[in-house]
Every structure is written in structure tokens, then in C-alpha cells.
Amino acid sequence: MYSDKVIDHFTNPRNVGVIIDADGVGEKVSASCGDRMKVFLKVVDGVIEDLKFQTYGCGAAIASSSMMSELVIGKTLDEALALTNDAVAEALDGLPDPKLHCSNLAADALHDAIKNYKEEGA
């Protein structure tokens, strides 16, 4: 049902935590299942230097958050904004259809954090 990458990112999630002095924070909650993702960004010269996340949800949600973090650390804000829901799922070697909303939450929470960063006058 789940790929080896999903299982790896669920059992060994990368970049879990909080950035106390984050430059941008975004949060999304799934209306369908209640999964919650919060993303914290540290941005230097338009590049995501660090990203931490907190996820309350299923294994696919945790794996999606972890993979999203790996995909965007070191990228520019524009490159990170281009990250799609599908790209997160593809990087995990796919998710079952009922769990695709998890990859949506990860990308959407990231996009919210970038929006928050830009609104705060970065």
C-alpha cells in the first residue's frame, strides 16, 4: 500500500520541530480528516535556509511533511512556491488515492508560510 519512501519518511521524519524566531509560519488543517500541518521557515537572502514542521495526523501526512521539507530547504522562495501537491506525492513514489490530500496539505502549508513571510515585510 505504501512505498518504501513513505515508510522511511514516516518512521524517520526529517526536519521535525519549531523555529522560535521563524521568518514565516503557515498552517493547514484538512477538513476531511483533521490532519494538521504547521510549517516554520528561516529565510536568508530569498533562500529557505531552514524549515521545520509539526504534523498531527496519519503516517502519510507525516511522510508528506518530511518529504516537502527535504524538497525545499536550500531553494529560493520562488522555487519553493512552484512545489506542487503532485510533486510531493511523486517524490514519495506515490500515495494511495485516499491519502493524496496529505501531499496537498504539505505543499499548501509551505505556500502559506511563504505568503506569511512576504506579508510580514521581508
- Residue 33 is a catalytic residue: yes
CA distance linking residue 36 with residue 58, whole number of Å: 10
User: What is the full DSSP assignment across 60-84?
Assistant: HHHHHHHHHHHHHTTSBHHHHHT--
Catalytic residue among 33, 58, 87, 100: 33
- Residue 102 is a catalytic residue: yes
Count other C-beta atoms under 10 Å from residue 108's C-beta. 19
Catalytic residue among 88, 102, 105, 109: 102
Residue 14 and residue 74 in contact, taking contact as beta carbons nearer than 8 Å: no
Count Cβ atoms within 10 A of the Cβ of residue 20 and give its class: 0-12 exposed, 13-18 middle, 19 or more buried.
exposed
Instruction: Report the catalytic residues.
Output: 33, 102
